[in-house]
Amino acid sequence: MIVVMEPNATPSQIEHMVRQIEGLGLRSHIIRGTERTVIAAIGEKRGQAKESLETGPGVAAVVPILAPYKVASREVKSEPTSVVVGSLAVGAGALGVIAGPCSVESETQILDTARAVKQAGAGALRGGAFKPRTSPYSFQGLKEEGLKLLAAAREETGLAIVTEVVSPEDVDLVARYADVLQIGARNMQNYRLLEAVGGCGRAVLLKRGPSATIEELLLAAEYILNGGNPNVMLCERGIRTFESHTRFTLPLATVPYLHRKTHLPVVVDPSHGTGHSYLVTDMAAAAVAAGADGLIVEVHPDPENALSDGYQSLNIDQFRALMIRCRAIAEAVGRVVEPAEPSPFIEASVATIR
């Protein structure tokens, strides 16, 4: 951490800051420049409330040197983490595709979708049973009934199940049915929920909040990792900017940037990231080219009559075309986009819910 003093800082102000730094258990080191003095604080530990140094007399700014996250960082673990859950393999070369409707609506809808996306090559089925909806007047999901339909779809197709959990008290229930628990963008900083999934024994797909920085995303992951759960996938799903022709702005540079900073795999959601079905396939292809470890795509047999998110859902034919294009790009750069072989883990989880 570097404490930058004002140009006119007095010797006693500098001395005061040295004492403050040392009071935090750090060593201080003064560097006198031609226009300003800066004080390096050596030995800092993550999580100290050191920004309060900024309020010290004569202080212009405090510049942190260490990233605030630890367990998620490449510095601590340099090899990429691969998350393999039944038929879904994400990271370390493999490109996993998660596809399915925004909401589970009915048995027919979810089973038809599951069969179709599996046939097209997806590795997992997504579908919301607990829906966090902006409006209290919108469809809120089928709850446990939806989870049962997802489990039935897994039993028939062998696809791993990805579904959202919105509250700590639901974690056990959702974990009984699902292979991967999704933390939605609006819950990225719901710390109780992060702690709860840290101990749930299932893999987690953690979506970036629409105004979260990369540091905040990795600190959210750190909550889960610290709970003892190493199977965390990060998901870029778009940020809020002034652009209004897309629902969110999908900043794909996040993918290679995260690969430098963390060992966790990075999944991209081109459906929420654009908000228009006609942009999804191009952005899925771009994500693969940028090095994404996975895709999560909204697919619905009849988007025009979907109960939610129809405007950003692909129909089955469009999803097949997406898979063909993404596979071509992945192969062109030497990567694999096949579902993993269903593993005993899946069998076990299917067994559990019976």
Q: Which positions from 156 through 195 interact with a second copy, judged by CB under 8 A?
A: 166-169, 186-187, 189-192
If one asks whether residue 210 binds a second copy (CB under 8 A), the answer comes out as: yes
Q: Decide whether 40 or 353 has the Cβ nearer to a second copy.
A: 40
The neighbouring-strand residues paired with 279 are none
Q: Interacting stretch for a second copy, rule CB under 8 A, among 89-97, 121-129, 218-226, 345-353? A: 218-226
Identify residues 132-161 at the interface with a second copy (CB under 8 A).
Answer: 132-139
Phi-psi region of 75 (alpha: psi -120 to 50; beta: other; left: phi over 0): alpha
Three-class SS of residue 179?
Answer: coil
SS3 assignment, position 85? strand
Size of the site for a second copy (CB under 8 A): 108
Residue closer to a second copy, measured from CB, 58 or 86: 58
Cβ(336)–Cβ(330) below 8 Å: yes
Residues 4-63 that bind a second copy (CB under 8 A): 4, 7-8, 20, 29, 31-36, 38, 40, 42-43, 45-47, 49, 51-56, 63
- Smallest distance, Å, CB 29 to a second copy? 6
**Looking up tokens 């699902």, which residue turns up?**
178
C-alpha count within 13 angstroms, C-beta hemisphere, residue 173: 15
Alpha-carbon gap, residue 134 to 132, rounded angstroms = 7
Smallest distance from the beta carbon of 179 to a second copy, in angstroms?
Answer: 23
Query: Which CB sits closer to a second copy, 35 or 79?
Result: 35
**Residue 122 amino acid letter:** A
Sites for a second copy among residues 235-254 (CB under 8 A): 239-246, 249-253
282-341 binders of a second copy (CB under 8 A): 282-283, 285-291, 303-308, 310-311, 313, 325, 328-329, 331-333
Q: For residue 232, what are the contacts with CB-CB under 8 A and spacing of at least 6?
A: 72, 81, 83, 203, 204, 206, 221, 224, 225, 264
Residues in 86-125 that interact with a second copy by CB under 8 A = none
Residue 192 vs 341, nearer CB to a second copy? 192
Give Cα 258 to chain centroid, integer Å: 11
Spatial distance between the Cα atoms of 245 and 274, rounded to a whole number of angstroms: 9
Closest to a second copy by CB, 273 or 339:
273
Structure tokens at 323: 């898979």
